[in-house]
Each structure stands twice: as C-alpha cells, then as structure tokens.
C-alpha cells in the first residue's frame, strides 16, 4: 500500500498521481468533530469483499489489536487458467460493442426499505413472490432505467450484469483471507421492447437466470477467457451493472470514534463507466433500514426514472413515496 500525506485539497492535483496508487486512504475532518474516511483504490488489487476485509483489519489495528482477526491471503495461483484453457460457457458480458454516446450525467441516490420492496413485490405473480429482495429490486431498477433512457430502437439489445462473488462457487472455496478479485458478472440479455413491454416478472426471471449461471465451471471458463482473449473489457454499450454489498460490515467499522453513520461508495459509476450501481446498507432519517442505491443518468433520463419509480411505489402504497435520499 502507498500512503500519501495530503495537507489540503489543492495538493491532491499537484502531488498525488492517483493511478499509481494501489490504495490511497484520505481523511476529511469535519467541524462537528466527525470525519470522513475515504479510500481510492486500483480495482485490479481487490474486489468489494477484499476491500471490506482490508478496512476491517485497519479498524481492528486502530483499536489496538495485535493482528487482524482474518489474516490476508495472496493465493492468486488458485485463479490461474486451466492447461489448456477451455472457454466452455457463453460470456455475453464480454461481447465487444461500440461504446454508448457520451452525455452529461448527474448522480442521485434512492432509498429502498421494506415498504418499497413490498410495493414492488406486489407487482409479481404468485410463483415469483418469494424472489429475493435483490432480484426484485434489480429487475425493477433495470426496467425503469431502460424506460427512462427512451431508446429509439425497441430491438436494441441491452444487458444487466450481476456482480457475483465467486469465492464460495469454487470447490474447494477460496481461503477466508483471500482479498483479491474473485467476482464474475454473468449477463442477462434482452431487447428494449421485451424488457419494457412485458411484466416485471419477465425481468425478475432474467435476473434469476443470470445469477444461476455463476457456477464453478462458469468461473473457470471466464478465467480461461481472460487468458485466451487478452483480458477484454466487459460490454459497456447498453449495460447496467449492479453489485450488492449491503451485507458487508462497512457500517460496523470503528476506527476508535464509534461505528460509521454510512459505509459505501461515494457515487454511482466506476471510473468512466456510468452504468454501475452498488447497493449499500443504510438507515434513513426515520430509522428505517434498507438499501441505498446510487444511480448515474443523463439529466432528463434521471427525471423520468424518478417518475417511473414514484408511479410504481405510489400505486401500491396509496400515497406518494419520497425516493431520493438526503444523506
């Protein structure tokens, strides 16, 4: 890890080359006595689980532990390609397509608690009513987001990429302390017309099928694809990428001043990829626990997304739902 002492915000641009940092912690002290602990990272070093492990270890050491409760494990050789490599699965998440047209994007965050999930679940047929909250929320957001973007061609192919932790998909599983990248993101693929024109249950089925693709063979096939194709970028055109870290222990981190009020990403997107949303645990001003979801869209599309979500939630709760979080 590279540690850099930064005295003020101007120094960030002058003295720090972010892209050369594997991890760059940065602390902002607030006048109220609290502080913001942020971390900029090179994603080739760790995935979300690895970052959570690193932050937990840091908090334990800050509280005078002699060593972390979970020791870090390198073990990168466990994810090497097979000999010979064998791409045995279809990986539509890596289909190379022209990038989307650039636009002016804005960031908003939305809170989904038990009432909101109940309202969305009410739209599903009985055989899907036991779907997980992740599947329901993801299907709803994907569908509403696609409507908000107002695609001109209803036959345009679009994708949902579900980031899946592969640690327990392998046999034997990766060791507990493994902090590297161990995620796959199988793709649900359909057209704009089908996703927007069919009931929400159609989208839920697509999400379920995508999650179920992430088998042990799928993980090894993806690793072999990286080996044979020279590590291609994932498909960006028409893609919505989701990751759920709401069960991570970020909210429980304590660096000596008590547990965090909020733990998660600062905004939607990943680098220059705007279509990435991370679900995080959050307690709103009413004390309700749920997920907060940051979303990045063009300005007009964001306004349409808010209306789409509000219409769904209002219709099933007999009143207007306030979606945008105020944190």
* DSSP single-letter state for residue 99: P
The predicted pLDDT at position 21 comes to 66
In whole angstroms, give the CA distance from residue 223 to residue 81.
Answer: 6
The predicted pLDDT at position 316 comes to 66
Q: What is the CA radius of gyration of the chain?
A: 21
The predicted pLDDT at position 97 comes to 79
Q: What is the mean pLDDT of each run of 10 residues along the chain (327 residues)?
A: 42 47 84 90 88 94 95 94 97 84 86 95 95 98 97 96 95 95 96 98 98 97 96 91 91 88 90 90 91 95 95 68 46
Helix (H, G, I), strand (E, B) or coil at 18: helix
Which among 240, 242, 210 is positioned nearest to 149, based on CA atoms? Answer: 240
Show Cβ contacts of residue 307 under 8 Å, excluding neighbours closer than 6 positions.
none
To the nearest 5 percent, what fractions of the chain are helix, strand and coil? 35, 20, 45
Contact assessment for residue 180 and residue 54, using Cβ atoms and an 8 Å cutoff: no
The number of beta carbons lying within 10 Å of the beta carbon of residue 224 is: 21
* DSSP single-letter state for residue 178: B
In whole angstroms, give the CA distance from residue 208 to residue 124.
Answer: 14
Q: Which residues of 48-68 are buried (b: 16+ CB within 10 A; e: fewer)?
A: bbbbbbbbbbbbbeeeeeeeb
In whole angstroms, give the CA distance from residue 69 to residue 74.
Answer: 16
CATH of 43-315, one of 3.30.70.1060, 3.40.50.1400, 3.40.640.10, 3.30.559.10: 3.30.559.10
In whole angstroms, give the CA distance from residue 291 to residue 278.
Answer: 10
Pairing of strands 35-41, 183-184: unpaired
The number of beta carbons lying within 10 Å of the beta carbon of residue 312 is: 20
Contact assessment for residue 196 and residue 120, using Cβ atoms and an 8 Å cutoff: no
Bridge partners (DSSP) of residue 59 are: none
Euclidean distance between the first and final Cα of the chain, in Å?
30
User: Does the model's pTM come out above 0.95?
Assistant: no
The predicted pLDDT at position 171 comes to 94
In Å, what is the CA distance from 19 to each residue of 16, 45, 78, 92, 135? 9, 12, 27, 29, 34
In whole angstroms, give the CA distance from residue 209 to residue 135.
Answer: 10
In whole angstroms, give the CA distance from residue 206 to residue 14.
Answer: 47
The predicted pLDDT at position 40 comes to 85
| Domain spans in the chain, listed from the N-terminal domain onward | 43-315
Task: Provide the annotated active-site residues.
Answer: 43, 254
């Amino acid at each position: 890890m590279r540690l850099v002492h930064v005295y003020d915000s101007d120094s960030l641009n002058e003295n720090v080359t972010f892209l050369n940092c594997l991890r760059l912690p940065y602390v902002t002290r607030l006048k109220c006595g609290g502080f913001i602990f942020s971390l900029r990272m090179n994603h080739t070093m760790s995935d979300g689980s690895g970052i959570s492990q690193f932050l937990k270890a840091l908090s334990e050491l800050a509280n005078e532990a002699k060593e972390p409760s979970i020791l870090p494990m390198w073990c990168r050789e466990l994810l090497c390609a097979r000999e010979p490599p064998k791409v045995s699965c279809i990986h539509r998440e890596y289909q190379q397509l022209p990038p989307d047209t650039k636009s002016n994007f804005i960031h908003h965050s939305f809170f989904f608690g038990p009432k909101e999930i109940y309202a969305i679940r009410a739209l599903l047929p009985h055989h899907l009513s036991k779907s997980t909250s992740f599947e329901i929320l993801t299907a709803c957001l994907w569908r509403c987001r696609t409507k908000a973007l107002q695609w001109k061609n209803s036959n345009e192919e679009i994708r949902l990429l579900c980031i899946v932790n592969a640690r327990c998909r392998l046999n034997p599983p990766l060791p507990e302390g493994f902090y590297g990248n161990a995620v796959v993101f199988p793709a649900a693929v359909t057209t704009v017309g089908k996703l927007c024109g069919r009931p929400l249950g159609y989208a839920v089925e697509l999400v379920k099928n995508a999650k179920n693709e992430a088998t042990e063979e799928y993980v090894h096939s993806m690793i072999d694809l990286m080996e044979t194709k020279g590590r291609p970028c994932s498909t960006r055109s028409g893609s919505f990428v989701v990751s759920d870290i709401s069960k991570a222990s970020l909210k429980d981190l304590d660096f000596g001043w008590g547990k965090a009020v909020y733990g998660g990403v600062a905004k939607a997107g990943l680098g220059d990829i705007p279509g990435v949303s991370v679900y995080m645990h959050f307690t709103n001003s009413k004390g309700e626990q749920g997920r907060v979801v940051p979303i990045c869209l063009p300005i007009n599309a964001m306004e349409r997304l808010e209306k789409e979500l509000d219409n769904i939630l209002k219709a099933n709760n007999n009143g207007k739902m306030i979606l945008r979080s105020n944190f």
